[in-house]
Amino acid sequence: MSLGGFILKNALRNKRRSFLTAGSVAISLFLFVTLQVALREMTIPPEDVGASLRIAVRNKISLANTLPARQLPTILRIPGVAVVTPFTFFGGKFKDDDSLGFAQFAVDPEKFLQLFGEAKMPSDQLEEWKQTRNSCIVGQDTAKRYGLKVGDRVTLVGTIFPVDLELQIAGIYEGTTDDTNMWFHHKYLDEAMGNWGKVGMWWLKAENAEVVPNLLRRINAAFANTSAEVRAETERAFQMSFVSMWGNIGLLINSICTVVVFTLALVTASTMSMAIRERFRELAVLKALGFKRRQLVSCILAESFGLALVGALVGVGGAAILFSSGKFAFFPVFELTPRIAGLAFLIGGILGVLAMLAPAWSVSRMSVVEGLKTLD
């Protein structure tokens, strides 16, 4: 029997224990990877090519406070502004869902498409949306989820606004970082609210990246000391403001990951110690036959490292398959990066080494006589 076969036979001597050990490593590293990817997506939101030029303008007091529609001409007169659209979150329920199945926003179709040019849809559907006041477009992910198609009529039951909206799907778009939303005419919402005259916020596009810092200051100054002061911020800053509402989410998730890894280290170390303790007499015989201390330690290391590596392959591989679509749960983008996968494999390897330290130390100190006296 070769040395590799000897190590493999020992590792699989108790198949149930080996399976449970590798399984515990796989499940723990799968949880670790999932938490790390979720943390990455929450703290580093995906950005498309036009994100550096987009600016969000909201009420300075709170995102829940609206802004007067009469601000539009003032914003358009500010040098550096290329496109502006009202942007109001409707938050209606669809098909008696208990929770919000997808987000709905009221915008100016003409300006919206100039602002978010990444959305792709057939030209005839695009023109239909522009021309029909009570029409909307839906992301392909939401269309697939609910079985929606062009021409269908949908009803959004108002939860934030005291109105229900009857909309007809004019098109289905794709190609953005989040193909789950619904977009409809802001004028239609305004009319349904009885000429409301307000917007949730403004989204605008700068002419170029160089004017963005100065543009932010000009917009804030334009409405300073008014009844509706604003806060202008880049798309990236706007996204991160939502993350800050959750508190120190990074500390929480990293703390959970630390507990998971620490618990896994205890489990693997205990399992390896038990497995080696059962073979003290055999190891003593090998010593008597002339095996060196380093050779026995190497066998133990190979067995421990191998079980940890198999568990890491299953855990990280399972995560890679599950997240291969690029979406998971409510995350529009959920990508397992090489850095996170590499970190998980590194942890698995370190655990394999740490788990063998105690049993290897015991074996290296054991004499042949002491080992032969050990009871099975």
**pTM higher than 0.85 for the full model?**
no
The residue type of 274 is M
Which pLDDT score is estimated for 365?
A: 65
Among candidate residues 158, 153, 148, 143, the one with its CA nearest the CA of residue 106: 158
Mean predicted confidence (pLDDT) in 207-216 = 89
Which pLDDT score is estimated for 364?
A: 66
**Model confidence pLDDT, tens digit, residues 65-78:** 999 999 999 999 99
pLDDT band, very low/low/confident/very high, at 266 (cuts 50, 70, 90): confident
Mean predicted confidence (pLDDT) in 185-214 = 91
pLDDT band, very low/low/confident/very high, at 193 (cuts 50, 70, 90): very high
Which pLDDT score is estimated for 332?
A: 58
pLDDT band, very low/low/confident/very high, at 41 (cuts 50, 70, 90): confident
The yes-or-no verdict on residue 291 having pLDDT over 70 is no
- For residue 34, the surrounding DSSP H or E stretch is helix 15-43
pLDDT band, very low/low/confident/very high, at 86 (cuts 50, 70, 90): very high
Which pLDDT score is estimated for 216?
A: 92
Sequence-separated (6 or more) residues with CB below 8 Å from residue 131: none
Domain definitions of the chain by residue range: 3-45+247-373, 61-228
DSSP E strands, 131-257: 135-139, 153-156, 165-173, 182-185, 198-199, 201-206, 230-234
Q: Of all residues in the chain, what percent carry a pLDDT higher than 90?
A: 30
Q: What are 183's strand-pairing partners?
A: 105, 137
DSSP, collapsed to helix, strand or coil, labels residue 265 as: helix
Which pLDDT score is estimated for 63?
A: 83
Mean pLDDT taken over the chain: 82
Calpha distance 359→248 (Å, rounded)? 40
Which pLDDT score is estimated for 354?
A: 82
Among candidate residues 189, 224, 228, the one with its CA nearest the CA of residue 70: 228
